[in-house]
Structure 1
Amino acid sequence: MSRASPPDITEETSSSIIEPYEYYYPAHSVPSTSPSKITEETSSSSIELHEYYDLAHSIPSTSLETPSIHRRRTRGIKPNQAVVLSLNFPVPSAIKNAVEEKYRMQGKNEEFLYLRYTAITAKPDDFTLKGGYDLRPRFYNRAIEHLVCVTYHNEDKTLLSRTLVSLFQNIKQVHESKQKFWKAGGPAWQKILVCIVMDGIEHCDENVLDILAVMGVYKHNIRGSSVHGVPTTAHLFEITTQLVVNEKQQLIRPKEDSDDTIPPMQLMLCLKEQNAGKINSHRWIFNAFGRQLNPELVVTIDTGTYLDSKALLNLWKAFYDDHSLAGACGSLHVDLGESFREDVFPNLMNPIVATQNFEYEVASQLERAMEASTGYLSVLPGAFSGYRYRAVTGKPLSEYFCGDSAMRDEPDSKASKDVYTLNRFLGDDRVLAFEIVVNPGQHWHTDLVSNAEAYTDVPSNTTDFINQRRRWLNGAFAATIYSCRMFLRLPKTTHNIFRQALLLVQLLHNILALVLAWFSLSGFLLTVFVVNDISGNPPEGSQAKGFPFGSATPIVNAVIQVIYIATIVLQFILALGSRPKHEVVSYVTSFAVFAVIQAYMMMNLIYLTVRLLDFRLRDDGGNNYVFINEYFSDVGWLTVLVTAISVFGVYIAAGILALSPWHLFTSWAQYLFISSSYTNILNIFAFSNVNDVSWGLKTGKKESTQTPAANKEICQVPDSRSEFEEVKLDEDMEDIDRMFEETVRRALQPYERTTPPKTEGTKAKFMKFRSRLVAAYIFSNFLVCIIVLDQTFQGFYTLGDPYWHKIWFFRIWMWGNSSLYLLKCAGMIWYRVRVLFYWCLYRVCGSRRDKSLEFHLSQC
C-alpha cells in the first residue's frame, strides 16, 4: 500500500492552499534578510519564519564564518548531592516565534522558550525522584495518557523526519477529537509525550541531530562527559515545539490563526552514551520515564514508521473500550512510496519488496487476525504497538529486560548468557507479548486493531533482507520453543475456560507450524523432485510423452535436481564462511535459481491438473494419462482438494473480508516465485548463524559517525565536590541565532546516502551450539529425503514400496499445511465476525463503555 503524500506547494500556490502544515522548500531564490533582524527584541514582531530559514540557503557560506562569536557569559552551577545536572538553555528566536500565542497561554511559557538538558549519570532503574531526577510533564503535574517511544539506531534523517511528521498529524487528530475524555483536564496535546531514544552516540547520524536541533529538542556542544567525575549514561533534552522537518527536508510550521494548524508536541530526546540495544531503549522508557509519568498507554514505534493520521486515536480507543486489553498492534503495511510512476511501480517490480508487501498484508489480514481471536498475539511488532503500562509492570517487564545487554554485566543479574536465550531476545517483540498473557493471577489479553494503520520501510536488497530475516527467524524459533514450554504457566492465570481452550488450540497450531518449518527444507525438495518426475517421466508402456521436453525431459529434470542440490550446498558454504554483503552476486544468483525452479515446478503442476481433468472429462486419449489419475487417487481427492482450497482460497478470502485484496494482484506472483527461497536461503542462513546474536546494521549506514564527542569544557567538573562547575548558560542571543542558522543550513541540505567502508564480520561465538543445530537440521531433513526417494529403505518400513513412500509423504505434508491454513482461516473469520458484531454495538451504544452494553450483550 502507498501512503498519501502532502501536496507540492510552489510559489504560486503556497498562499492559496490550506493544509495542516506549510511547506517551505530550501529555495535559493528568496531574497535574503539580515541576520540582525532576527533577535530577541523582534521575537514578538510579525516577521515571517520562512524568511529566516530560507536565509540559511541564501547567504553565502563565508558570511556565517566572518562574524566572530562573542565569549559566552558563564556562571557557576553546583549540582546537588545526587550528581544531577539539569540546565535550561534559551532556544533561538526563530523557534520562539513559531509558537502560537494561544498555546503559550494553555501551557507553561518556559517549556516553549527553554530547552531543558539533564546529564543522566544513573541507570534506567535509578532514574527516580529520590535520585534527584525529574521530568517537565511531571513537574507541570500533567497526566500523560500516551507515552510514545520512537526507537532510533542508525537510520538517516529522512526516516526520522517521516515518523515525526506523522506523529504531528496524529496529535492534531487527537487534539480535534470529539471524545469527552480528551476535552477534560486540559488540552489534548498536553496528554501526549513523544520520546526519541537514540541507541548510542557512536552510531548516531550527525544529520539527524541537525534535524532535531532545528526542531529545538537538541543543542550542539552541551553534552557533558561526566558530572563530578561520574560518567554520564544518557543525555536528556526536553522541549515543547511546533516545528518539524519532513522527509524532503522541507520545514513545516503552523499557520497563524488557522483551524488547520498543528498543536504543539511535548518532545523528549534521550541520547544514550553507549549502544546497548533496543531492549535497553525500552528499559529507559518503561523503567525510567514511565515510572515517573505513570502513563496509561505506552506506544512503541520504530524510526521510519509512518502512522496513518488516526492511528494513535484508533489504538487508544481499543484500550479505552476494553479494560482487559494489555497490548495491541496496528495493521502494518509496506511503504511503497507516494508517486505510482516513481515509487510504487519500481518497488513492485522489485521482487524482494513485492514479496514483503504480500507477506505484511497476509500477516495483518490472516495470521494476526487468527491470533487475535484467541486473545494472544504471538508478536507485537516494535514498529507500531501499544501496551497498557500497568499491565506490563512487574513480572512481564522483569522477564523482558533480562534480554538487556547492559543488565548482563550488572551484579546479581538474572539475565542468562546462553546462546538459546540470547536468540530468544532477538525476537524481543515476542517475549513481552507472551509474558503478558501468562502473567500469574491476571487475565490480560492482546489484540489486533485493524483500523490503526502504519507504513514501514522494508529492505530492498538481498543483503539487508537476509540479515533482517536472520534475526527474525532465530528470534521466532527460540521464542516459539520457549512459549511452547512455558504454556504450563497458563493454569496459574485467571483466564476463563473458553479463553484457555482457545489458547491451547493456538499452542497446537504453533507446535505444528514449528515442525513443518523445521522439515520445510526436505518438503520443498521432495515436492519439486516428485512433481517434475511424474510429469516428465511417464511409466513404461504409456503413450504419453514427458512434459515439457518430450523424451529429453528426464535429462533436463536430472540437471535441475543437480543444480537444486548444488545450490542448497552453496547456501551452507556461504552462510558458514562469509557475510551476505561480501557475496551479493552469489545470493542474487541463488534467489534467481530457486525462482526459476519454482516456476518450472508450477508449470508441471498446471500440466498435471489439465491432464487429470482431460482424463476425467474425456474418453478419447484419456487412457494415456491413467498414471496421473492413479497418483491422484492414491493421494486422495479430498487431500488434493482441501490443499488447493486452503493454499489459494484462504489468501483470497482474507483479502476480501478485510476489504483490501489489492496485494493479490500486485504481489502474489512475486511471492510465489520467492517463497522457496524463504526456506532454502533464509532458513539456512539463520540456522548457520545462530551464534550471531547481534542486531546488525543496514547497508549504507555508517558503523561510526563523526558525531561530536561530549564537550568536556561545557560540563567540566573539578575533582573536588566543593568547587563549582563552569557551565555555558547565559548565552548571547545573537550568537545563539547565528549558530542555529548554521545548523539549519546543514539540516535542510538534500540527503545523500553514503556507502560505508567494507569491514570484516563479527567474531564467531557459540560455535558448539551452532554446529549441533545445523547438523540436526541437515541430517533430519536428509533422512526424510532418503526415506521417500531411496528404494533401499523399503524393507525397513510398513509403508510399502518407494511409490507408497511418496504417496504417504504427500498425504502428511499436504494435510499438515492444510490444517495450518484452515486454522488460520477459522480464526480470521471469527475475528471479522467479532469486529462486525462490536461495530453494530457501537452504532447502537456509541461505545463499549456505554452502560447499556451489558443489556445488549445479555440480549444476544
Structure 2
Amino acid sequence: MPRNLEADEAQHGHFNDGYSPYRESLDSADSGHDLSPNVAIKHPPPSPLGQLSNALQTPQLSSHHPPRRLDSNSYASGFPQLRSSPQICPSSSSTRPEAAPPPSGDAIPTADVHGSVKSDNVPESDETGEKVMLVGGNYVLELQMPTKLLAESRFDADREFKTMRYSAATCDPNDYEESGFRLRQVDDEYNLPHRRTELFIVMTMYNEDERMFCGTMAAIVRNIEYLCKQSDWEGGSESGWEKVVVCIVADGRSKIPERTLNAIAAIGAYQKGSFAQSEVQTKPVTAHIYESTIQSYIPLTSEGHLAEKNQQSAVPVQVIFCLKEKNQKKLNSHRWFFNAFGKLLEPEVCVLLDVGTIPEDQAIYHMWKAFRNNANIGGACGEIIASRKAHKWSPLVSAQYFEYKISNILDKAL
C-alpha cells in the first residue's frame, strides 16, 4: 500500500489548485538538505543549458552536517547565456524534415541533485541559431541523450534509448491528436511494432521538491520491475516493460522547483535548452512534452535522503514528461493525461498518483490484477498510510492518520 511523505493535498480541499499543502522549506533535520536556495522564480525560467544535470558525479559532502547538502549559492550564480535562440519557420511539407542539430551529448554539467553545481563544468550550448522547420505545422525536435547517461545504461543501440523527442504543444489537451501531435509508442516513424500500452501511470505534481519526486519515481520503477517478474504479465522481463508508460505532469513551468527539474534531467527524462519557448509563430505554447526511455532512477535511503548515485533499473521505463506552461490546476493535468495522451495510447488500466505518494513494490501489480481477474471492475484504490516519522506524537498527525484509516474503510468502500 502507498505511503505518503506529506499530507495529501485533498486534505486541504484544494486538490492542487495552486495552493501548496507542503511546507515552503523542509526542516533540514527531516530532509537532510539545505533547501533554501533563495532563487527568485522567473517567467520564463532561468537561462537554459545546452545539456542537463545528471546524478552520476560524486556529491559534495558537508563538513558540519552528516547528510549531504545542496549548495544553494551555486544555483544562484546562474547559468551561461545561450548565444542565440532557434528561429522557427513554417514548413509547407507534411513530411518530417531533418531536425536542427540537437544539443551535444558529449558532456553534461555537474549540476546534479546530489551535490553542488560547478559552473566551470557547465558546457555552453552548441545551438547556433539555425532555423528549425516545423513538422506538419508543429514544433517537434529530436534531442540526443547525454553520453554519460548512455555509458551507464545496458541498452544503447536502439533509437528510443539514444534520443529524446520534444514537442511544443500549442493546443488544448482535447485537440492534441487532431492537431497532428503524436507519441513515440504509436508513431510509425519510430518503428515500434506491437507496442501496446497495458498500464498507463500518471504522476501529477505542482511544486514538490526533488526528494518527494525521487521517492515516488523510484517506487514506480520498482513496481514495474516487479510486474515484469510475474508469470501473468505478458512479455516478462524481456519485453514486459514495453506495455507500461509513465507520465509526469508538472502544473506550471514557473512553479516547479529548479532542483526537481534537475532530478528529472538526472534520470534522462528532461533536457534544458532555448528550444523550449513560450510561443511558436505567435501561438502560445500550452505544454512542453519530453518523450524518453530511461534506465535509471534516484533512490531514497532508509533515512529519506537522496542516494549518492543513480540506481540502474532492471528494465527500461518509458516516460512522458509534460511540463505545462501555466499553472492550470490538477483537473487540467488529468485532461492532458486522459484526453491527450490516453486517447493515443488507449491503455487498458490507468493508475493515478500524486508526487509524494510512495506505492509499495507490489501495489500496482495487485491493483492491475484486480482489473484483469474481473472485467466488471471499473475502479480500484489502495490505502494511503500517512508518514508519522517526523511528528509521531503530534495530535494533528494522529488525527490525520485516524481519518485516513476511517475513510479507507468507510468512504472508499462505497
TM-score range, shorter chain: 0.5 to 0.7
Corresponding position of 2:395: 351
Equivalent of residue 132 in structure 2, options 74, 77, 84: 77
Equivalent of residue 330 in structure 1, options 375, 382, 386: 382
The reply to whether residue 310 of structure 1 matches residue 362 of structure 2 is: yes
Letter in 2 for 1:127: Y
Supply the distance in 1 between the matched residues of 2:245 and 2:267 (Cα, whole angstroms). 15
Supply the distance in 2 between the matched residues of 1:98 and 1:144 (Cα, whole angstroms). 27
The 3 A distance-change label for structure 1 pair 274 and 61 is closer
The reply to whether residue 136 of structure 1 matches residue 189 of structure 2 is: no
Q: How many residues are treated as equivalent by the alignment?
A: 313
Corresponding position of 1:735: none
Q: What secondary structure does 1:348 align onto?
A: coil
Supply the distance in 1 between the matched residues of 2:2 and 2:174 (Cα, whole angstroms). 41
1:224 offset after TM fit, Å? 1.5
Q: What secondary structure does 1:150 align onto?
A: strand
Q: What secondary structure does 1:347 align onto?
A: coil
* Higher RCO structure, 1 or 2 (CA under 8 Å, sep 6+): 2
Supply the distance in 2 between the matched residues of 1:268 and 1:159 (Cα, whole angstroms). 18
Supply the distance in 2 between the matched residues of 1:317 and 1:351 (Cα, whole angstroms). 37
CA RMSD of aligned residues (A): 3.3
Please give the per-residue CA displacement for 1:47-100, whole angstroms capped at 9, x wherever unaligned: xx9xx8999859x946336xx73753454322145x311101112111111220
Supply the distance in 1 between the matched residues of 2:57 and 2:150 (Cα, whole angstroms). 18
Letter in 2 for 1:166: A
Q: What secondary structure does 2:406 align onto?
A: helix
1:367 offset after TM fit, Å? 4.2
Taking only the aligned residue pairs, the percentage that are identical comes to 29
Please give the per-residue CA displacement for 1:430-449, whole angstroms capped at 9, x wherever unaligned: xxxxxxxxxxxxxxxxxxxx
Supply the distance in 2 between the matched residues of 1:302 and 1:280 (Cα, whole angstroms). 14
1:240 offset after TM fit, Å? 0.7
The reply to whether residue 175 of structure 1 matches residue 228 of structure 2 is: yes
The reply to whether residue 240 of structure 1 matches residue 293 of structure 2 is: yes
Please give the per-residue CA displacement for 1:323-379, whole angstroms capped at 9, x wherever unaligned: 01111111111123xxxxxx2xx522111111111221222234434x2xxxxxxxx
The 3 A distance-change label for structure 1 pair 61 and 289 is closer
Please give the per-residue CA displacement for 1:709-754, whole angstroms capped at 9, x wherever unaligned: xxxxxxxxxxxxxxxxxxxxxxxxxxxxxxxxxxxxxxxxxxxxxx
1:242 offset after TM fit, Å? 1.5
Is residue 243–residue 251 contact of structure 1 (8 Å, CA) maintained in 2? no
Corresponding position of 1:548: none
Is residue 98–residue 254 contact of structure 1 (8 Å, CA) maintained in 2? no
Equivalent of residue 121 in structure 1, options 157, 162, 170: 170
The structure with the greater share of residues assigned to helix is 1
The 3 A distance-change label for structure 1 pair 194 and 243 is same
The reply to whether residue 271 of structure 1 matches residue 323 of structure 2 is: yes
The structure with the greater share of residues assigned to strand is 2
The 3 A distance-change label for structure 1 pair 214 and 252 is same
Corresponding position of 1:94: 148
Supply the distance in 1 between the matched residues of 2:359 and 2:112 (Cα, whole angstroms). 29
The reply to whether residue 197 of structure 1 matches residue 249 of structure 2 is: yes
Supply the distance in 2 between the matched residues of 1:133 and 1:287 (Cα, whole angstroms). 13
Supply the distance in 1 between the matched residues of 2:114 and 2:399 (Cα, whole angstroms). 42
Supply the distance in 2 between the matched residues of 1:2 and 1:24 (Cα, whole angstroms). 31
Corresponding position of 1:627: none
Supply the distance in 1 between the matched residues of 2:3 and 2:336 (Cα, whole angstroms). 31
Letter in 1 for 2:153: V
Is residue 25–residue 250 contact of structure 1 (8 Å, CA) maintained in 2? no
Supply the distance in 1 between the matched residues of 2:56 and 2:114 (Cα, whole angstroms). 16
Letter in 2 for 1:354: S
Please give the per-residue CA displacement for 1:368-403, whole angstroms capped at 9, x wherever unaligned: 34x2xxxxxxxxxxxxxxxxxxxxxxxxxxxxxxxx
The 3 A distance-change label for structure 1 pair 353 and 70 is closer
Please report the TM-score for the alignment, with normalisation by the length of structure 1: 0.34
Supply the distance in 2 between the matched residues of 1:157 and 1:54 (Cα, whole angstroms). 11
The 3 A distance-change label for structure 1 pair 249 and 304 is same
The 3 A distance-change label for structure 1 pair 219 and 349 is same
Letter in 1 for 2:164: L
Supply the distance in 1 between the matched residues of 2:376 and 2:234 (Cα, whole angstroms). 19
The reply to whether residue 156 of structure 1 matches residue 209 of structure 2 is: yes
Task: Name structure 2 gaps, 5 residues minimum.
Answer: 6-54, 63-103
Supply the distance in 2 between the matched residues of 1:119 and 1:239 (Cα, whole angstroms). 15
Q: What secondary structure does 1:207 align onto?
A: helix
Is residue 3–residue 384 contact of structure 2 (8 Å, CA) maintained in 1? no
Is residue 203–residue 355 contact of structure 2 (8 Å, CA) maintained in 1? yes
1:295 offset after TM fit, Å? 0.4
Is residue 194–residue 265 contact of structure 1 (8 Å, CA) maintained in 2? yes
Is residue 287–residue 323 contact of structure 2 (8 Å, CA) maintained in 1? yes
Supply the distance in 1 between the matched residues of 2:105 and 2:249 (Cα, whole angstroms). 31
Corresponding position of 2:121: 64
Equivalent of residue 212 in structure 1, options 264, 282, 290: 264
Is residue 249–residue 323 contact of structure 2 (8 Å, CA) maintained in 1? yes
The 3 A distance-change label for structure 1 pair 178 and 23 is farther
Corresponding position of 2:281: 228
1:26 offset after TM fit, Å? 2.2
The 3 A distance-change label for structure 1 pair 242 and 360 is same
Supply the distance in 1 between the matched residues of 2:164 and 2:349 (Cα, whole angstroms). 26
1:205 offset after TM fit, Å? 1.4
Corresponding position of 1:26: 59
1:119 offset after TM fit, Å? 0.4
Residues 717-732 of structure 1 correspond to what in structure 2 (within 5 A)?
none
The 3 A distance-change label for structure 1 pair 56 and 207 is closer
The structure with the largest alpha-carbon Rg is 1
The 3 A distance-change label for structure 1 pair 26 and 4 is farther
Supply the distance in 1 between the matched residues of 2:141 and 2:359 (Cα, whole angstroms). 33
Residues 725-740 of structure 1 correspond to what in structure 2 (within 5 A)?
none
Residues 601-620 of structure 1 correspond to what in structure 2 (within 5 A)?
none
Supply the distance in 1 between the matched residues of 2:4 and 2:285 (Cα, whole angstroms). 42
Letter in 1 for 2:127: R
Q: What secondary structure does 1:167 align onto?
A: helix
Letter in 2 for 1:349: W
1:277 offset after TM fit, Å? 1.1
Please report the TM-score for the alignment, with normalisation by the length of structure 2: 0.68
Supply the distance in 2 between the matched residues of 1:272 and 1:54 (Cα, whole angstroms). 23
Is residue 26–residue 250 contact of structure 1 (8 Å, CA) maintained in 2? no
The 3 A distance-change label for structure 1 pair 321 and 23 is farther
The 3 A distance-change label for structure 1 pair 347 and 40 is closer
1:23 offset after TM fit, Å? 11
Is residue 236–residue 270 contact of structure 1 (8 Å, CA) maintained in 2? yes
Supply the distance in 2 between the matched residues of 1:4 and 1:119 (Cα, whole angstroms). 33
Letter in 2 for 1:64: N
Supply the distance in 2 between the matched residues of 1:55 and 1:200 (Cα, whole angstroms). 20
Supply the distance in 2 between the matched residues of 1:169 and 1:298 (Cα, whole angstroms). 17
Supply the distance in 1 between the matched residues of 2:358 and 2:140 (Cα, whole angstroms). 33
Letter in 2 for 1:137: Q
1:201 offset after TM fit, Å? 1.8
Supply the distance in 2 between the matched residues of 1:298 and 1:2 (Cα, whole angstroms). 16
Is residue 200–residue 349 contact of structure 2 (8 Å, CA) maintained in 1? yes
Letter in 2 for 1:120: A
The 3 A distance-change label for structure 1 pair 330 and 40 is closer
Letter in 1 for 2:401: N
Equivalent of residue 409 in structure 2, options 365, 368, 374: 365
Corresponding position of 2:314: 262
